[in-house]
Amino acid sequence: MASGSRPRTRRSQALQAQGAVHPRPQAVTDPLFRDSVFFDPNDLVQVKYEMLRSVEQDGRAVVDAAESFGLSRPVYYVTRDLFQREGLQGLLPRKRGPKRPHKLTDEALEILAQAVRESGHIPGGEPLAALLQERCGIRAHPRSILRRLLPYLKRQEKKLR
């Protein structure tokens, strides 16, 4: 293995671990990323930053910049808004989907926990789902309820000790 490829491999592994690999590095056609040691078309954060810079500093058209960096126009606008709000942190990859449970809130879990404490045992997911529907008007899958309720009960138990 050549010594020049070793840092590139480490960099690729680090990008992979952070989830920051450009999904289509071959689509990056901007001259900055051609035959450069510094600019890496696999580095999604760097590609997004340079796309923003090319529009803001160089006056490039959004559609041209997005295409040249292998991204779409909507990705440009989302990236720009996140960067304006959060700075460089806004360019980092994020988990997709909900960030926290939207149905099984702490209030809903407390209602279920109270029912468990009153009964003295943990019933199956089906009765808990029915109770949640009846008392809170919330429909949730029985397995989801148990998956969230059991750790909640353990945390509550630790607090009481």
The pTM (predicted TM-score) of the whole model is 0.59
- Residue 28 pLDDT class (50, 70, 90 cuts): very high
Record the tokens describing residue 45, joined without a space: 């954060």
Query: What pLDDT, on the 0 to 100 scale, is given for residue 62?
Result: 97
Query: What pLDDT, on the 0 to 100 scale, is given for residue 1?
Result: 41
Query: Cα–Cα distance between 122 and 48 in angstroms, integer?
Result: 50
Coil/strand/helix, residue 148: helix
pLDDT of 2 strictly over 50: no
Is residue 145 classed exposed, middle or buried when 0-12, 13-18 and 19+ CB atoms within 10 A define those classes? buried
Q: Give pLDDT tens digits for 57-106.
A: 999 999 999 999 999 999 999 999 999 999 998 998 877 777 777 788 88
CA 141 to chain centre: 23
pLDDT of 9 strictly over 90: no
- Ordered by start, the domain boundaries in the chain are 11-91, 106-160
Query: Cα–Cα distance between 75 and 105 in angstroms, integer?
Result: 32
